[in-house]
Amino acid sequence: MIEFKNIKKSFGDKVVLDDVSHIMETGKANLIIGQSGSGKTVLQKCLVGLFEPNSGEIIYDGHSFTDMNVDERKELRQQIGMLFQGSALFDSMTVEQNIMFPLDMFTTKTFSEKLKRVNEVLERVNLEDINKKFPAELSGGMKKRVGIARAVVLNPRYLFCDEPNSGLDPQTSMVIDKLILDITREFNTTTVINTHDMNSVMEMGENIIYLYEGKKEWTGNKKDIIFSDNKLLNEFIFASEFLQDAKDMRMLEARGKISDDRDMGKMLKGDKLD
């Protein structure tokens, strides 16, 4: 569990995070959603210590990250895996070397043991026979999967994903979402995901925090979103007419007004229901 209380962060005069508090639960996909520039990435970078908040407290399973010294933070970070927006794979290393890097740095395993572990995680992310390829030779989706493999190779307790679907087609996005969700359940990690992809929100949103201009505007789960009357959230989530229609249908369906596909067709055409 990761708890953060009253996080404030500003760059010069610009306040990016203003008094944000929330609890990220273990074994769940915790989503931070919001428009571009709403402070999602800054919040995530504050949580992992890449940015120092101006005030507030971050607590990892009862241990205050804010009060930790450099060595204690280094120790904790070995339990953190992170998937970056651009995958952040090391260009000069092969896929195998990329995934093996944390093992080389922090374990005393033999080469064959490390190779076995690399192959295990590669298999887990459904990638095979790419050990000797360089990141430049991989597609966007493959890079993300290698990024996930590197993030989980040390069995982290906390997994952070910064816009895991950016630049991917909807089908590949779903594969990545499912993979993150499966890993979260399988290894019981506290997973924190930054996204503004609505498919991801509806697929994975077990604990969602919506940021608006640096403030926590709304919190709930994917079911709550449909019935939320928060104007700002609705404008963000159901930005397109298609999604607005989908929401209306879900609400009518839930209230029992749509009985079959025929009614749904009428609804889409804009006809009145019987």
Partner 1 sequence: MLFFNHFGRYILMIRGMFTRPENMRMYWKELMHQCVEIGIGSLGIVIIISVFMGAVSAVQTSYQLVSPLIPATTIAQIVRDTVILEFAPTVVCIVLAGVVGSKIASELGNMRVSEQIDALEIMGINTKSYLIMPKIAACLLTIPMLVVLSMVLGILGGRLAGTATGIISTDAYDMGLLMNFIPYNVFFALVKAYTFAFIISTIPSYYGYYVKGGALEIGRSSTKSVVVACVMILFADYILAALLLDKS
Residues in the site for partner 1, rule: CB under 8 A? Answer: 48-50, 70, 73-78, 80-82, 84-86, 88-91, 101-102, 104-106, 160
Nearer to partner 1 among residue 70 and residue 274 (C-beta): 70
Nearer to partner 1 among residue 49 and residue 164 (C-beta): 49
CB of 219 to partner 1, least distance (A): 26
Give, to the nearest 10 degrees, the angle between helix 140-152 and helix 111-124. 130
CB of 154 to partner 1, least distance (A): 8
Residue owning tokens 């306040």 = 15
H or E, element range at 56: strand 55-60
CB of 75 to partner 1, least distance (A): 7
CB of 40 to partner 1, least distance (A): 15
Nearer to partner 1 among residue 104 and residue 235 (C-beta): 104
Identity of the amino acid at 220: G
Longest alpha-carbon distance in the chain = 71
**How many CA atoms are closer than 13 Å to the CA of 1, on its beta-carbon side?**
7
Q: Which residues pair with 57 in a beta bridge?
A: 5
Helix, strand, coil shares of the chain, percent, nearest 5, are 45, 25, 35
CB of 187 to partner 1, least distance (A): 17
Nearer to partner 1 among residue 40 and residue 216 (C-beta): 40
At residue 112, φ and ψ (nearest 5 deg) are: -65, -35
CB of 240 to partner 1, least distance (A): 30
Residue owning tokens 């019981």 = 188
Nearer to partner 1 among residue 70 and residue 272 (C-beta): 70
Nearer to partner 1 among residue 189 and residue 225 (C-beta): 189
Considering only CA atoms, which of 46, 64, 34 is closest in space to residue 7?
46
